[in-house]
Amino acid sequence: MTEIQVLSNSRRRTGSTFLRKHQLIIAPVAFITPAFAMFSLFVIYPIIQSIGLSFVEWQGIGPQTWVGLDNYRELLGDPVFWKALTNNVYWLVLFLLAPVLGLFIALFLNQNVFGIRLVKSLFFFPFVVSQIVVGLVFAWFYDPAFGLLATMLEPLGVKFPAILSNENWATFGIILAGLWPQTAYCMILYLTGLNSVNPEVIEAARLDGAKGWRLLVNIVLPQLRAATFIAVVVTIIGALRSFDLVAIMTGGGPYNSSNVLAYYMYDNAIFRYRMGYASAIATILFLIMDLYIAWFLMRLLKNEKGSR
C-alpha cells in the first residue's frame, strides 16, 4: 500500500514540477516573448529587410533587380552623399553646444526668486512646440524680404543676409533653429540634476574656499554626471537623425547644400522612387549610429568598472 502511495505521489510531482524545475528559464522567456515578438516584427525585421533592399534596384512597386554593391558604389561617387555626410558632422559638432548652453541656463535659473517657475517654463517652451513649428518660425525670422530680422535691421541700414537660400549658410541656419529646442531640453535635464546635488558637499567645498569656476567644475559637474550623460546621448542621436527641420526649412536645398543623410534617404525613397539607393543610405546611417553607440557603451562599461 505504502509503496503505491509513494509512487503516485512522486508521479504527481514529476508532472507538475517540469514547470517548477525550469521556472527560472520559462518565466523570463514567457514575459519577454510578447515584447520580443513585437520588437522583432517592427524593428529588427525592417532593419534586415532594409539592408536587403540596399542590394537591389526597386521603385517601390514592381520587380526588384539584384545589383549587388552597385548602390554603395554609386554612393561613394555621389557628391550629394558626401555633402550630406559633411553636414551631419556639422550637426554633430555644433549640436554639442546644446548641453553646454543648457547647463549655463540651468545654473542661471536654479534660484529661488519670485516668478522663477514661470521663467523656467518659458525657457522650456521651445521643446514643447513641434519641430515643424520651430522650423516655420525660424524660416520666417530669416526671410530676407518680409522676415522679422530683416525688417528690424532695415531702418539701421543693415541688409540681412538670405540665410536659407545661401548654399554656405543654410545648414548653419537650420542648426541654430535646432539648437533652440535642444538647449531647452538639456536645460530641463540639468535643472532636475541640480535638484539632486548634495548641498552639504557644496557647503563643505565653500568652507574649503572653492568658489566660482572651480566649484562648478570640481564639485557640481561630477554630481551632474548622470544628467550630462543623458544630455549628450540624446543630443548626438538628435543630430544624427535631424530630419524635420531640414524638411520644413529648406527641403535639403538650395540644391542639396543643406541636405543631411536622413533627408537624402527620404528624398530618394519618396520623390525619386529609388528604394534600393535610399536603403543603402539608411544602412550607412545605421552603421554610423551603431559605431557611435558601440563606442559609447564600451566607454560606459569601462567607466563603470573603473569606478568600482
Partner 1 sequence: MRYLKTTVCAVALMLCSTSAFARDLVMNANTSDPAQKLAMEELIADFEAAYPEIDVKFNLYDHEAFKVAMRNFLVSDAPDLITWNAGNRMKVFVDLGLLEDVSDVWQAEGLHEAMPAVVSASSVEGKQYGVPYAYYAWGFYYRKDLFEQAGITSTPTTWEEFLEVGAKLNAAGITPITIGTKDLWPTAGWFDFLNMRINGGEFHAQLMDGKVAYTDERVKRVFEKWAELVSADFFVENHPGYSFQEALPFMNQGKSAMYLLAPFIVSMFPDDVREQVEWFPFPVIDPAVGIYEDAPTDSFHIPKNATNKEDARLFLAFAAQADVQTKTAATLDMLPPNINASVKDDRFAQGGFAQLGQANGIMQFYDRDTDPALAKVGMEGFQEFMQNPDRIDAILQRIEAERERIYGAL
Position 176 contacts partner 1 (CB under 8 A): no
Position 65 contacts partner 1 (CB under 8 A): no
At closest approach, how far in Å is the CB of 192 from partner 1? 26
Q: How far apart are CA 47 and CA 58, in angstroms?
A: 17
Distance of CA 40 to the CA centre of its chain: 22
Stretch that binds partner 1, among 34-42, 59-67, 201-209, 226-234 (CB under 8 A): 59-67
Nearer to partner 1, 227 or 282 (CB): 282
**Side-chain half-sphere of 135: how many Cα atoms within 13 Å?**
16
Identify the residue among 71, 171, 250, 283 touching partner 1 (CB under 8 A).
250
Q: How far apart are CA 183 and CA 109, in angstroms?
A: 13
Nearer to partner 1, 62 or 212 (CB): 62
Identify the residue among 271, 304, 305, 307 touching partner 1 (CB under 8 A).
271
CB 74 within 8 A of CB 277: yes
Q: How far apart are CA 207 and CA 30, in angstroms?
A: 56
Identify the residue among 256, 260, 280, 284 touching partner 1 (CB under 8 A).
256
Pairing of strands 65-66, 56-57: antiparallel
Q: Which residues contact 32 (CB under 8 A, 6 or more apart)?
A: none
φ/ψ of 294, rounded to 5, equals -60, -45
Interaction pattern, residues 77-96, with partner 1; x per rule: CB under 8 A: --x-----------------
Identify the residue among 4, 24, 30, 61 touching partner 1 (CB under 8 A).
61
Interaction pattern, residues 100-139, with partner 1; x per rule: CB under 8 A: ------------------------------xxx------x
Residues 138-167 interacting with partner 1 (rule: CB under 8 A):
139, 142-146, 162, 164-167
Q: How far apart are CA 62 and CA 85, in angstroms?
A: 31
Position 175 contacts partner 1 (CB under 8 A): no
Q: How far apart are CA 294 and CA 279, in angstroms?
A: 22
Position 255 contacts partner 1 (CB under 8 A): yes
**Side-chain half-sphere of 307: how many Cα atoms within 13 Å?**
7
Nearest of 285, 199, 274, 191 to residue 242 by alpha carbon: 285
Number of chain residues interacting with partner 1 (CB under 8 A): 37
Residue 242 burial (CB count, 10 A) = 25
Q: How far apart are CA 277 and CA 112, in angstroms?
A: 55
Residues 177-236 interacting with partner 1 (rule: CB under 8 A):
none
Calculate the alpha carbon distances from 164 to 80, 98, 159, 180, 207 in Å.
18, 21, 15, 17, 52
Stretch that binds partner 1, among 108-116, 117-125, 212-220, 260-268 (CB under 8 A): 260-268
Position 279 contacts partner 1 (CB under 8 A): no
Interaction pattern, residues 16-55, with partner 1; x per rule: CB under 8 A: ----------------------------------------
Position 287 contacts partner 1 (CB under 8 A): no
Q: Which residue has the cell 549587388?
A: 68
Identify the residue among 106, 248, 261, 284 touching partner 1 (CB under 8 A).
248
Q: Which residues bind partner 1 (CB under 8 A)?
A: 60-62, 74, 79, 130-132, 139, 142-146, 162, 164-167, 243-244, 247-248, 250-251, 253-256, 266-268, 270-274
